[in-house]
């Protein structure tokens, strides 16, 4: 069994190394026809850029994409600079340099990966999946009978901020930076999933398709790990199955299939303000222009975010979304599970969390309000602030850096819910409902707490669960995503996630710390 595990790890690492090395191989040639048709389709008027590319880039063979990217982006920047100086605004190309470069490099890629997509898919995704499963599945036997399996977590270099953890951290952060800002460097990786994309939506894959596919793959593999680790705990098993279902069906397959039928790409379970560009004018326009289904999507998205979300939070707490439906939560609960103990439980961290997450919520609301103001009035700024600027900075700072690079990249050092805890505006919004108007709570079982600290340690949201439990107090916290792990790891059966009457939900109930009632009443009155 241990041999299978080791072999699996080796295969996984081989797959990962090949995956990573694909960035450095292949040849690139931008052909005349590719370039011309792209320029035509975009209607570029920048003669300087077009000339520059035609003269210096087209027809030339590059041995790597970095040089090609650099030639394209500098051509673009030079041309733009000149036109801006001359105030020839219609000739400026407003695309982000690396997205434009991506559009040109993707069709320019040649060589071994492009010619052998199937083979390389197997050598990367295939080996990765097989290896990971060989590493994970023997745990059914190796970890012993069903039960809590946290042995050695704080002795492992991978899960206790050791060198493996930092390596994973650097790798994840780099991947997200490439994905969000330098997609033109990873076209080879995108080619790996081209055939799958074509079979689903009929289109060639974009970096976002690669990300979506990778996301689902990682969640499934690590979801299997969850199924094994928590096989004694039905709540965990059902919850994990639920996030997998919503990610694969709603976030991945349905949107792709919609595109195949010329419908807008739409994730029915995504809610504003997590889905921050839902009310952006391009989205509204595209939905309105897509017939009855598009209008339905617009109405559904609005009702879902503003009415359904808070009502269900009232009945079940925000867990129904955060750890049963949400994709971000889904990744956190599968890929992120090995890192859940790394969240900071200090009072200071809680303070930072409250400031940060509510600031993001306010930012999201202001940005959306401005967006709608601009949409309905046509005025593009208010109090001297441009709507577009707000959208841009939100998208860059929150949408990309916070939720992606930090939110996932920092798993191995700050725990698996960095984004959900410190940044997600939807979590903040649901948290306010959960804290003040909800039936959900974690009930503390009388006086049975022994203050051991397992609950706090394994709370991914950094809640000091023990601080409540040892006082015989129920846990009602805005940030609780109801993953149920505190209850699972409790060695004394003290914690239970419950939806019950609001009455008596928060009230301290230490009558059962063990002393007779009179004394406890006195303590309470004090």
Partner 1 sequence: MKHVVIIGNGISGVTTARHVRKMSDQKITIISDETDYFFSRTALMYVYMGHMPFKNTQPYENWFWEKNRINLIKNRVEKIDTDSKKLLLKNGEEITYDKLVLATGSKPNKFGWKGQDLDGVSGMYSKQDLDAIEKYTKNIKRAVIVGGGLIGIELAEMLISREIPVTFLVRETSFWNNVLPKQDSQLITNHVKSHHVDLKLDTELREIIPDENGRVKAVLTSKGETIDCQFVGLTAGVSPNIDFVRDSKIECNRGILINRHLETNIPDVYAIGDCAEQENAIGRRRPIEQVWYTGRMMGETLAQTLCGNRRQYNPGHWFNSAKFFDIEYQTYGWVTARIQEDEQDYYWESSCGQKAIHLVFDKNDKSFVGINTFGIRLRHEMFDRWLNEKKSIEHVLEYLKDANFDPEFYKQHEEEIINGFNQKFNANIQPKKKSWKRIFTTF
What is the rounded distance in angstroms from the CA atom of residue 415 to the CA atom of residue 332? 9
Tokens of 159: 């899960």
Q: How far is the CB of 269 from partner 1 (least distance, A)?
A: 21
**Secondary structure letter of residue 205 according to DSSP:** P
Which member of 4, 275, 496, 506 binds partner 1 (CB under 8 A)? 496
What does each C-alpha distance from 433 to 296, 351, 364, 480 come to in angstroms? 26, 19, 17, 12
Nearer to partner 1, 128 or 484 (CB): 484
Q: How far is the CB of 43 from partner 1 (least distance, A)?
A: 57
Nearer to partner 1, 33 or 507 (CB): 507
Q: Which of residues 347-386 bind partner 1 (CB under 8 A)?
A: 347
Interaction between residue 227 and partner 1 (CB under 8 A): no
Q: Are strands 381-382 and 109-110 parallel, antiparallel or unpaired?
A: unpaired
Which string of DSSP letters, residue by residue, matches 54-122?
Answer: HHHTTT-EESSHHHHHHHHHHHHHHHHHHHHHTT-GGG---S-HHHHHHHHHGGGEESHHHHTHHHHHI
Nearer to partner 1, 39 or 513 (CB): 513
Stretch touching partner 1 by CB under 8 A, among 88-96, 101-109, 249-257, 511-519? 511-519
Nearer to partner 1, 26 or 472 (CB): 472
Q: Which of residues 437-466 bind partner 1 (CB under 8 A)?
A: 443, 445-448, 450-454, 456-457, 466
Which member of 37, 74, 88, 150 binds partner 1 (CB under 8 A)? 150
Ramachandran quadrant class, 424 (left: phi over 0; alpha: psi -120 to 50; beta: rest): beta
Exposed / middle / buried, residue 76 (Cβ in 10 Å: 0-12, 13-18, 19+): buried
What is the rounded distance in angstroms from the CA atom of residue 270 to the CA atom of residue 441? 25
Give, in degrees to the nearest 5, the angle at Cα 165 between 164 and 171. 90
- Per-residue x/- mask for partner 1, residues 177 to 216, rule CB under 8 A? ----------------------------------------
* Radius of gyration of the chain measured on its C-alpha atoms: 26
Stretch touching partner 1 by CB under 8 A, among 33-41, 208-216, 228-236, 270-278? 228-236
Residue 119's φ and ψ, nearest 5 degrees, are -60, -50
User: Residues touching partner 1: how many (CB under 8 A)?
Assistant: 64
Interaction between residue 299 and partner 1 (CB under 8 A): no
- The answer to whether residues 420 and 332 touch, using CB atoms and an 8 Å cutoff, is yes
Which member of 77, 86, 504, 508 binds partner 1 (CB under 8 A)? 504
Stretch touching partner 1 by CB under 8 A, among 124-132, 215-223, 292-300, 344-352? 344-352
Interaction between residue 234 and partner 1 (CB under 8 A): yes
* Beta partners for residue 443, in sequence order: 496
What does the binding site for partner 1 look like in residue numbers (CB under 8 A)? Answer: 144-148, 150-156, 160, 232-235, 238, 341, 345-347, 443, 445-448, 450-454, 456-457, 466-467, 470, 484, 487-489, 491-493, 496-498, 500-501, 503-504, 509, 511-519, 522-523, 526
């Amino acid at each position: 069994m241990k041999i299978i595990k080791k072999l699996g790890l080796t295969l996984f690492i081989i797959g990962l190394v090949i995956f990573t090395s694909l960035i450095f191989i292949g040849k690139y040639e931008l052909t005349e026809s590719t370039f011309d048709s792209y320029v035509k389709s975009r209607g570029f008027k920048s003669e300087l850029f077009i000339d520059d590319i035609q003269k210096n880039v087209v027809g030339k063979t590059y041995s790597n994409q970095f040089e090609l990217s650099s030639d394209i982006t500098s051509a673009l920047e030079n041309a733009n600079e000149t036109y801006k100086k001359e105030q020839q605004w219609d000739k400026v190309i407003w695309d982000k340099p690396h997205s434009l470069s991506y559009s040109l490099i993707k069709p320019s890629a040649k060589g071994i990966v492009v010619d052998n997509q199937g083979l390389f898919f197997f050598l990367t995704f295939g080996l990765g999946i097989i290896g990971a499963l060989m590493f994970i599945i023997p745990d059914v036997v190796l970890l012993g009978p069903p039960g809590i399996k946290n042995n050695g977590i704080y002795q492992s270099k991978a899960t206790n901020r050791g060198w493996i953890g930092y390596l994973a951290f650097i790798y994840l952060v780099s991947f997200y930076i490439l994905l969000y800002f330098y997609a033109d460097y990873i076209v080879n990786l995108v080619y790996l999933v081209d055939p799958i994309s074509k079979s689903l939506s009929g289109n060639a894959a974009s970096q976002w398709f690669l990300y979506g596919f990778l996301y689902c793959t990682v969640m499934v593999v690590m979801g299997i790990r969850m199924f094994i680790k928590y096989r004694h705990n039905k709540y965990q098993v059902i919850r994990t199955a639920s996030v997998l279902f919503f990610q694969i069906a709603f976030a991945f397959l349905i949107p792709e299939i919609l595109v195949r039928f010329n419908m807008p790409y739409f994730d029915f379970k995504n809610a504003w303000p997590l889905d921050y560009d839902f009310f952006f004018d391009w989205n509204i326009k595209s939905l309105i222009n897509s017939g009855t289904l598009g209008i339905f999507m617009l109405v559904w998205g609005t009702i879902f975010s503003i009415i359904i979300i808070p009502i269900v939070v009232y009945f079940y707490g925000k867990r129904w979304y955060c750890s049963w439906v949400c994709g971000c939560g889904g990744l956190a609960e599968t890929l992120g599970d090995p890192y859940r103990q790394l969240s900071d439980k200090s009072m200071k961290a809680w303070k930072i969390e409250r400031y940060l997450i509510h600031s993001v919520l306010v930012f999201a609301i202001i940005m959306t309000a401005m967006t709608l103001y601009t949409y309905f009035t046509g005025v593009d700024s208010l109090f001297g602030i441009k709507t577009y600027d707000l959208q841009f900075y939100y998208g860059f700072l929150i949408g990309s850096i916070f939720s992606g690079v930090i939110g996932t990249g920092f798993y191995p050092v700050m725990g698996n819910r960095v984004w959900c805890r410190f940044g997600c505006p939807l979590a903040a919004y649901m948290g306010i409902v959960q804290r003040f108007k909800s039936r959900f709570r974690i009930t503390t079982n009388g006086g049975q707490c022994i203050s051991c600290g397992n609950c706090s340690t394994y709370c991914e949201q950094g809640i000091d669960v023990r601080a409540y439990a040892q006082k015989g107090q129920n846990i009602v916290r805005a940030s609780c995503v109801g993953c149920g792990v505190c209850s699972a790891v409790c060695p004394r059966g003290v914690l239970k996630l419950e939806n019950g009457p609001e009455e008596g939900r928060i009230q301290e109930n230490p009558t059962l710390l063990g002393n007779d009632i009179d004394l406890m009443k006195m303590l309470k009155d004090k």
